[in-house]
Amino acid sequence: MDALELGTLYESLERSVAKHGDRPAYAVPPMVGRAYHPDGAEFTWTQTLVATQQQIRRYREAGYGPGQRVAILFQQRPEFIFHFYALNALGCSVVPINPDYLHDEMVYQLEHSESCLALAIDERIDEVRSAAAALAQPIPVARFEGHGPLPLATSAAEDFRPAGTTEAALLYTSGTTGRPKGCILSNVYFHSFGLSYVSRGGLLALREGQERLYNPLPLHHANCLAIALPAMLLSGGCLIFPDRFHASTFWHEVIACRVTALQLQGVIPSILLKLPEVPEERQHQVRFALCWGMEPVYHQPFEDRTGIPVVESWTMTEIGRLMTNHVEPRQIHTRSVGRPSEGLEARVVNAQDEDMPAGETGELVVRHSAEAPRKGFFTAYLKNPDATAEAWRGGWFHTGDMASRDENGIFYYVDRQKNIIRRSGENIAATEVEECLTAHPQVKQVVVMAVRDELREEEVMACVIPQSQDDAGEALAHELFEWCWARLAYFKAPGWVLFVDKLPTTSSQKLKRVGMFPQGTDPCAQPGVVDLRSLKKKSASQTSA
């Protein structure tokens, strides 16, 4: 099956309806007090098509069509899917608005994307109207919950028939330096992600028309929208998504929704393991969990406690397919992400794009093939040809992720290139130090980051949420230092420790290093910070890693 031959996502919807009709396609679990579907909701494939066709008529009657973009702030409302398929049928692209965005961020996204219409849920519509009014050329804003006529399109649609190469969505990557980049994503891209998932086999074998995939991550990110949604679309399964991850109700929802598969970020299993054991952890029907970035120290304990095999994976918004460790032996005590599968070639290279020897760390670069390197990948960064060309230099997509591979061709994730701490000539992966610290029984969560150092260029800083705030202080800081000192090369131990009561996360449950402190703030000058640098002296028993 070729992604290009599948055409549009709407055409795949029609095929799924023909095969699966009255089977469930989308669901949200109940949640008392939620603004939408507090008793939960479930939609069959046929109901999804009927609701989609109603939205098609609304958009078409208002003059929307090929080549246009519509921005939507929907905050996990399942009805977004009807809009998504409807706009896809018309050749329009969807621009999901991150509900965490504030005024200036919305203005940038609406302006940069050249959206011609914005929809917003009622409780946020005034904010979106304010952002839309601030544009050089203001655009109309409509209620997401509305069912009447939409504002008329102020510009003419293009004249072409939607196809596989047509843009389906514009997703914005989180910007760490400068503004976020808009990733142009075609129907081929979405189908490639879905096919990559559906064709996995092994522990990830999807049963057609039977799976109920629970994904607590936001629909405005690739994890749910570009991976989970097309996988269920192509296999006839049901995608289940709450408003967000809730640790206290997680297992209850998994059981109540008859979940058979999970799709998670690595921080979620670690949070669940920190909670008291409950009977529901063994009363589920879950066959596997597909996960990104799980700390190896938690992998075996989570599987032993829940009976759920966790398949570690690697991908990016731009990639359009998965790399997974879904075949035994999975090496779960490492950061193995398996071997590249069909439709993905991978290398580990140095700064000159030369191959690194097995076991050495370098940047992970990927492509589809030498003949068609970009097949199934994102189309381009919108209005940024220089960034697109730089990412694709030499015919390989440069991921910015550090990795290694062994002699058997298995790849191991190390860290984001930007998360590498450079101390006195040594490269330190923040995730490695985080993994060590999270294994300490008195650590609930931790973020490790680089801070400037006048002698060593950079130093390691750990921001820690302790299991009990009563334990926060110099004694625990020294204990954590000794814990790392005994398990890591001396230069990797934290030179600074700061105890905090919360850590910032993205809407997709990733812990954020960037933005931990306001711009211009010295992290090392924060109240309560513990300076441990004087303890980092290499001894005869310490050897560099």
Q: Could you say which residues of the chain have pLDDT below 50? A: 176-177, 540-545
Q: Judge whether 72 lies within some domain.
A: yes
Residues 6+ apart with CB under 8 A from 92: 59, 64, 65, 66, 67, 68, 69, 70, 157
H-type helices in 319-419, by residue range?
385-391
Residue 294 and residue 206 share a domain: yes
Q: Could you read off the pLDDT of 11-65 as tens digits, one per residue?
A: 999 999 999 999 999 999 999 999 999 999 999 999 999 999 999 999 999 999 9
> Where is the domain boundary, 371, 405, 439?
405
Q: Residues 6 or more apart from 127 whose CB is under 8 A from it? A: 103, 106, 120
Q: Which residues contact 402 (CB under 8 A, 6 or more apart)?
A: 361, 362, 363, 364, 413, 414, 415, 416, 417, 420, 429
Could you tell me if 238 and 371 lie in one domain?
Answer: yes
Percent of residues in the chain assigned helix, strand, coil, to nearest 5: 30, 25, 45
CATH assignment at residue 493: 3.30.300.30
Query: Can you read off the two tokens belonging to residue 117?
Result: 């219409």
Q: Are residues 83 and 201 in the same domain?
A: yes
Q: Determine, yes or no, domain membership for 393.
A: yes
Report yes or no on 268 lying in a domain.
yes
471 and 522 both lie in a single domain: yes
Angle at 363 between CA 362 and CA 368, to 5 degrees: 130
Measure the CA–CA gap between 379 and 66, rounded to whole angstroms.
17
Q: What is the predicted pLDDT for the residue at 506?
A: 67
Written as one letter, the residue type at 284 is: H
Determine, yes or no, domain membership for 249. Answer: yes
Looking up tokens 């191959």 gives 355
Tokens of 323: 């790399």
> Is residue 464 domain-shared with residue 329, that is, in the same domain?
no
What is the structure's pLDDT at 426? 73
Q: Quick check: is 418 in a domain?
A: no
Q: Looking at the 3D structure of the chain, how many domains does it have? A: 2
Domain that holds residue 483: 424-535
Note whether 214 and 241 are within 8 A (CB): yes
Q: Which residues face 416 on adjacent strands?
A: 401
Is residue 542, in this structure, part of any structural domain at all?
no
pLDDT tens profile 263-273: 998 889 988 99
> Are 156 and 263 members of one domain?
yes
Q: Is 543 within the bounds of a domain?
A: no
Judge if 305 and 448 occupy the same domain. Answer: no
Same domain, 291 and 373: yes
Residue 412 resides in a domain: no
Q: Are residues 388 and 444 in the same domain?
A: no
Is residue 449 located within the same domain as residue 371?
no
437 and 370 assigned to the same domain? no
Which pLDDT does position 514 carry in this prediction? 65
pLDDT score of 427: 72
Q: What CATH number does the domain containing 166 carry? A: 3.40.50.12780
Q: How far apart are CA 188 and CA 196, in angstroms?
A: 12
pTM assigned to the model: 0.83
DSSP state of 511: B
> Do 288 and 431 lie in a common domain?
no
Domain-terminating residue out of 344, 372, 405? 405
What lies within 8 Å, CB to CB, of 47 at 6+ separation is: 25
